[in-house]
Amino acid sequence: MQLEATLKELYGFSSFRSGQKEIITDLLSGHDVLGMLPTGTGKTLIYQMAAHLLKGRALIISPLVSLMEDQVDQFKQAGFKRTIALNSFLDQSEKQSILKRIQDYQFVFVSPEILQNSYIRSILLSVSWSLFVVDEAHCISQWGHEFRPFYLELADMKKAMGDPICLALTATATHKVQNDILHHLDMKNAEIHIHSVNRPNISIFVECFDDHDQKVGRAVNLVQQLKGPGIIYTNTRNAAELLVKRFQDHEIEGVAFYHGGMNADERLLVQKQFLESQLNIIVCTNAFGMGINKSDIRFVIHFHTPSTIEGYIQEIGRAGRDTEPSAAVLLYHPADLEIPYHFIDQELPDSVQVDYLFSDHIQLKGNTYAEKLKLVGLSETGQRFMEYHLKKAGILHEENLDVHEKNALISKIKFTIESRKADKIESLKAIEKWATNNECKRSGLLKYFGEPVPEPNLMCCGHCKTDLSYFYGKQASFNTSYELWEDELKRLLRQEVYN
């Protein structure tokens, strides 16, 4: 089979990008595959083309509703009309209609959570699948342990589907994360294709500040001078909104914030306006950006230091997907990591809370552990974490445990919590060290992923004397009047779910 001929027929391309052909070949040979390819190198094409050649259906696990909507649009524009996303944007009648005609769809996007719905799960299991795809597979390791534990149950779904060929794709994964993905998806004999995380067209700059107001002033200055479009990341919703206000005070046009505190319609509208170049700059938390298919993003600024190097690589990788020169600028302040450190302490249960859950204080007659959890005062993440581990132990809906079993489970849960906290603190220390040390920034990132130091590059990083002014340019003029935004939103949410 000439894969290049199919590539030309489907997409009009004459040659594959690095890694694509090898992964497709392995999938067509019946092998599970773990693929790590840099952001912007065409991971979607891999499972589109593989499912087409396998003449079957693909179930795609995708982490974000906004990402699913974007992916469905892209699939339809590429000619794959039998594509749908099962998510919260659908009302009940739309969902029912899709489920009744599930056999008509070739590509179905779902979240890990929706697979917990027994009715939807039974419908999905009523048809055959050729491909089980986990997009952004690093989420299994980074989110699955506590933020979204249903990621850890995907192997059960895969088995129930009859173990179709499994493809796990990500842009960043250390050896530990790779092993997590393989383990939790039960990919025993997978082919592994790991490509460099290096993006030579992205120049990396780190600027350090002791004064917060100076950092804000520098952010304003950069936005006024850098040629857009661009993304600015903050670590809180409030910071995103305050930065937008500051930019507007300086008459900077085409700017909006995006974070998880907005409703789904508001987020989708901002995302679409950015993709369609009606907005020039998005100021956001890390809720924005995963899978965003905008090739001409010229800069990514981190107003706060991210909590992991993996997250940093993911986020700067949204720049320069067209391979044109782009800039990544981190504005580091020693206080940046205080909030992530605080989250680590607060998001998972502490020893007192674990002991209290299993103590006699809440051993009320008729109470199951699921009911007792509500009395412990856990964070939302802590609640999910404990529910997962109690369910895994088979006691979520039980009332009592043998004392020896209970003590063993308490010890296991406490050990898991401390291990996760230690991992996260180690990640914070790693990015703090990288941001503050006096070495080539690109080499430091690649060494973290176990990659060799690259050849010298004139556009490497600030440490290597790359001049940020190279990326300065005149900004476009933007119409920021969205009086008819409700009509625009209805257009963007066009009801193509049946096409």
**Which pLDDT tens digit goes with each residue over 245-270?**
999 999 999 999 999 889 878 888 89
**Helix (H/G/I), strand (E/B), else coil: 449:** coil
pLDDT band at 350 (very low <50, low <70, confident <90, very high): very high
Residue 479 has pLDDT above 80, yes or no: no
Residue 487 has pLDDT above 90, yes or no: no
**The two structure tokens encoding residue 447:** 């060494």
CA distances to 147, 189, 389 from 384, in Å? 7, 31, 9
Looking at per-residue pLDDT, the higher value among 124 and 64 belongs to 124
Q: Please provide residue 147's backbone torsions phi and psi, each rounded to the nearest 5 degrees.
A: -70, -45
Rounded (to 5) percent helix, strand, coil in the chain: 45, 10, 40
Compute the chain's Rg from CA coordinates. 24
Residue type, 443: S
Residue type, 288: F
Which range has highest mean pLDDT (88-102, 309-323, 427-441, 468-482)? Answer: 427-441
**The two structure tokens encoding residue 391:** 């369910």
pLDDT given for residue 283 in this prediction? 96
Q: How far apart are CA 37 and CA 171, in angstroms?
A: 5
Q: How far apart are CA 437 and CA 448, in angstroms?
A: 14
Residue in this structure with the two tokens 């005149």, named with its chain if needed: 474
pLDDT band at 291 (very low <50, low <70, confident <90, very high): low
Mean pLDDT of 415-441: 94
Residue type, 51: A
What distance lies between CA 31 and its chain's CA centroid?
25
Looking at per-residue pLDDT, the higher value among 187 and 77 belongs to 187
pLDDT band at 301 (very low <50, low <70, confident <90, very high): very high
**Which pLDDT tens digit goes with each residue over 124-182?**
999 999 999 998 898 888 776 777 888 888 999 999 999 999 999 998 888 888 999 99
**Which pLDDT tens digit goes with each residue over 459-470?**
999 999 999 999
Residue type, 366: G
- What the chain holds in terms of domains, given with CATH numbers, is 3-194 (3.40.50.300), 202-339+428-492 (3.40.50.300)
**Which pLDDT tens digit goes with each residue over 353-405?**
999 888 876 655 557 888 888 888 898 889 989 988 888 888 888 766 778 88
What's this model's pTM, rounded to 2 decimal places? 0.83
Cβ atoms of residues 201 and 161 within 8 Å:
no
28: which DSSP letter?
A: H
pLDDT given for residue 369 in this prediction? 85
